[in-house]
């Protein structure tokens, strides 16, 4: 066999391997996106000029906000890749790209197993769904459909079903705390691409949803939510001019996007529900302590949280366990359970006043 023939055979084998392996195809596509973004950054050019301009503005402001509000080493390592994906034009299909693997976990390797998991989880969430939300809403295709499946005639993803379960946990915690109606002002610290904000705004259309996040994630929320919720989203370019944020100002029924340090501008008792999912444990301990100080100050209602029971953050040299969170003594725990999906995670809620 000639050298050329041997090379052709190897290339053909590689092409067949890629074609038969969805995970490998996705990994190669993401690698191409990140390389493209790195080149664009070096050249100072991008097809997504508006997104890049907003992201760079966020990044410059975040740099001046102090170490309590900038990324620890854990997220700094991820954010270097996120920056390349943003510059590479990955926001348009962000739910199919590198972003969503860091926000939402591993890519499904077996569609058959993933679909079975999705259906079992759907049946669990349906038991919580007293308002019939799942019968009237589904996961939108905007931003990518790679994790979606059609169940009983409607389109769902694991992210969407998690968000519906979490929204009901927030509502039920509010009722358990002895509050009437539904929370009107919800603050989420670390929102990923905005999946829970989307569901809460659909389920609780009168609520204002405030997102506090690092630039690399905040631009994802801004890009995706402005497409699925349109005029209901107030972008960072507008909110960065806001100063004191009292309850009367916040009760406008919108999604407001801020960098993390803006938590200092939220006035006492301005918030009904504070939410953090999966990200407290990824922060340095002094950042966690600072956020708990402020959420206790601003939240007259409930905290809902979902975290790993024991997180070893080797990059920041920290170990964060469920017992290490600085829960104030005057809070009252409303519920605590193992997460529905992951046995190494817990979820809990607390009444912050009485």
Residue 97, both tokens? 């790209």
Rounded-to-integer distance, Cα 271 and Cα 247, Å: 7
- Given a contact cutoff of 8 angstroms between Cβ atoms, the answer to whether 169 and 349 are in contact is yes
Lowest mean pLDDT among 9-23, 239-253, 258-272, 299-313: 9-23
Domains in the chain, CATH or no CATH each? 3-104 (no CATH), 159-351 (3.40.50.150)
User: pLDDT-derived band of residue 256, with 50, 70 and 90 as boundaries?
Assistant: very high
In 10 A of CB 312, how many CB atoms? 11
Hey, what are 262's tokens?
A: 């803006």
More confident residue, 107 or 248: 248
Quote the radius of gyration of the chain (alpha carbons, Å).
21
Q: How far is the C-alpha of 91 from the C-alpha of 159, rounded, in Å? A: 17
pLDDT tens for 19-45 read 555 666 667 777 788 888 888 888 888
Which tens digits make up the pLDDT trace of 73-121? Answer: 888 888 888 888 999 988 999 998 755 566 666 677 789 999 999 999 9
CA distance 149 to 157: 6
Q: Does residue 182 surpass a pLDDT of 90?
A: yes
| 4, pLDDT greater than 70 | no
Residue 139, H or E segment: none
What pTM was estimated for this model as a whole?
A: 0.90
Q: How far is 334 from 174, CA to CA, in rounded Å? A: 9
Which two three-digit tokens encode residue 293?
């100080």
Tell me which residue of 255, 267, 334, 341 sits closest to 298, measured CA to CA: 267
Q: Does residue 11 carry a pLDDT above 60? A: no
Instruction: Extract the tokens encoding 57.
Output: 């503005």
Q: What is the pLDDT of residue 33?
A: 82
């Amino acid at each position: 066999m000639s050298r050329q023939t041997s090379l052709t055979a190897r290339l053909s084998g590689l092409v067949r391997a890629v074609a038969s392996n969805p995970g490998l195809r996705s990994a190669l596509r993401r690698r191409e996106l990140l390389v493209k973004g790195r080149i664009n950054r070096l050249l100072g050019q991008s097809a997504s000029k508006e997104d890049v301009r907003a992201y760079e503005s966020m990044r410059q402001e975040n740099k001046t906000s102090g170490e309590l509000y900038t990324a620890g080493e854990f997220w700094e390592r991820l954010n270097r890749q996120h920056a390349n994906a943003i510059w590479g034009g990955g926001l348009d299909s962000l739910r199919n790209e590198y972003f969503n693997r860091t926000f939402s976990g591993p890519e499904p390797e077996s569609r058959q197993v993933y679909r079975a998991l999705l259906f079992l989880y759907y049946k669990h969430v349906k038991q919580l769904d007293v308002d019939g939300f799942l019968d009237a809403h589904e996961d939108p295709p905007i931003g990518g459909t790679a994790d979606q499946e059609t169940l009983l005639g409607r389109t769902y993803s694991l992210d969407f079903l998690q968000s519906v379960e979490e929204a009901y946990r927030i509502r039920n915690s509010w009722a358990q705390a002895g509050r009437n109606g539904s929370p009107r002002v919800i603050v989420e610290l670390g929102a990923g691409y905005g999946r829970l904000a989307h569901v809460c705004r659909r389920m609780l259309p009168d609520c204002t949803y405030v997102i506090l996040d690092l630039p690399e994630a905040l631009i994802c929320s801004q890009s995706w939510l402005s497409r699925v919720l349109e005029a209901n989203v107030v972008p960072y370019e507008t909110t960065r001019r806001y100063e004191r944020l009292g309850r009367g100002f916040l009760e406008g029924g919108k999604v407001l996007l801020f960098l993390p340090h803006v938590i200092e501008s939220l006035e006492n008792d301005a918030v009904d529900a504070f939410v953090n999912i999966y990200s407290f444990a990824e922060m340095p301990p002094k950042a966690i302590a600072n956020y708990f100080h402020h959420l206790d100050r601003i939240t007259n209602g409930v905290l809902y949280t979902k975290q790993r029971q024991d997180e070893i953050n080797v990059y920041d040299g920290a170990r964060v366990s469920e017992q290490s969170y600085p829960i104030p003594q005057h809070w009252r725990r409303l519920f605590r359970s193992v997460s529905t999906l992951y046995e190494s995670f817990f979820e809990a809620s607390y009444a912050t006043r009485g």
